[in-house]
A = this chain, B = another copy of it.
Amino acid sequence: MMRADKRSNDEMRPISFQADFQLHPIASVMASFGATRVLCAISISESVPRWRKEQQLPGGWLTAEYQMLPGATSPRGEREVSRGKISGRSAEIQRLIGRSLRAVLELSKLPEITIHVDCDVIDADGGTRCAAISGAGLALELACKRLQKQGVLSQWPLRQRVAAVSVGMLQDEAILDLCYEEDAAAAVDMNVVMCSSGRLVEVQASGEEASFSEEELAKMMGLAKKGLRQIFDASEELLAKGLL
């Protein structure tokens, strides 16, 4: 099988992270996985959700939101505000982003603040949730550095880095980092969220009108780990610039 863009099955698309794309957020990162681009921004509000107060949970909170710009897809996507509510798909993705980041964040080491993570898809070509998690992880690290300097944080709250990648089964072959065309045709779609230590945070494998064997699951997991290494390497670029 020849992939649409001639990549080999275990090859990522070009990855890049551009820091400080926006003016106002504490930190923002434009994450690119090939043609997919997601703008990830970190803002702070000085309170925690009521349920945390009521349960007297110490520390802060982190919450994520995910939306696509209407022009991020072709044909144009309707704005969710026009239908009055966020779609099931967006709700599911923003819950995943939040859980993934909280897995590496020690909430008890935060003061009583909420960290808002906004992931807005500028261009969608497959893998938007993975680009969002990977970019948001870096933006969060960058924000923590700055909040530490400003004295808002008195302890370092991040345990390690986090990133995400998609893998799938297409024509009985396992492939890494699916573009939209591949994603639409794949029999199985899998997302893996991993810490820089190699420990897993989320594994979601899903067959739409299809099923898969344990061997296929293992093959996809192997590819995912390979891709995640490349994503962690790409983040070194920001490190080299003294940002992280």
A contacts, CB < 8 Å to B: 21-25, 28, 35, 37, 39, 41, 43, 45, 65, 67, 69-76, 79-82, 84-86, 88-89, 91-92, 94-95, 99, 102-105, 107, 116, 118, 120, 122-125, 195, 197-214, 217, 221
Contacts and interface: CB of A to CB of B under 8 A. Distances in A.
B203 A203 contact: yes
Oligomer: number of copies: 6
A179 B125 CA distance: 36
Contacts of A199: 211-213
Contacts of A79: 65, 67, 81
Nearest to A216: B200
A223 to B, nearest CB: 14
A239 to B, nearest CB: 22
A23 B125 contact: yes
A217 B200 contact: yes
B43 A70 contact: yes
Contacts of A212: 199-201
